[in-house]
Amino acid sequence: VRAADQVISALRYDDEEIRKATLSSLRKHVRRGLVPLNKLANHKIDAVRTVIAEAVDCPTEILENLASDKSEDVRAGVAGNSNCPVALLEILAEQGWGIAISVACNPSCPVALLEILAEHGGGEDGRCLVMEAVAEDPRCPASALEVLAKDEEEDVRLAALANPNCPDHLKA
């Protein structure tokens, strides 16, 4: 714990390089199990809570608590965690496009949720970014790729056409 406290204390510096190195070091401490996740899950610094939310071995109870965090970055970290429960992913997918992208990129995101995101995106501002993330997912079903390949946004269409599951008749 003391080592983690020393690492976290370096976050007070304004230098972006120091912050990046500090967060990288904190991630290593978390991966090695050197810090109590439950203690840091309530830390005052958003970036610390985000590291905890992204931790693969973060317990479901902590993920559930962090899913309602005031920080969008923390909630996006939960949404991108491969151990995030499906029910929580479904809730997070409705919290704006920034978080919906993390849901779409989560390897544990169920295909049914990918299909929903393919149709609706995650809010008008970032709709195409969410849909592009869905189109790039190798698990994206052909039915969703059919919709995405006809989207008004070129990047979405190109991502759908590049997906290995894209039906051949759309590539012609």
The rounded distance, in Å, linking the Cα atoms of 118 and 46 is 30
Describe the chain by its helix, strand, coil percentages, rounded to 5.
65, 0, 35
Which residues are paired to 123 by β-bridges?
A: 121
DSSP state, 15?
Answer: -
Structure-token pair, residue 91? 């809730």
Residue-wise pLDDT for 113-137, tens only, equals 999 998 876 556 678 899 999 999 9
Q: pTM score, two decimals?
A: 0.87
Cβ atoms within 10 Å, residue 142: 12
Structure-token pair, residue 147? 């919709």
User: 84, 114 in Cβ contact below 8 A?
Assistant: no
Residue-wise pLDDT for 4-32, tens only, equals 677 777 777 677 888 888 888 889 988 88
Please give the pLDDT value at position 23: 87
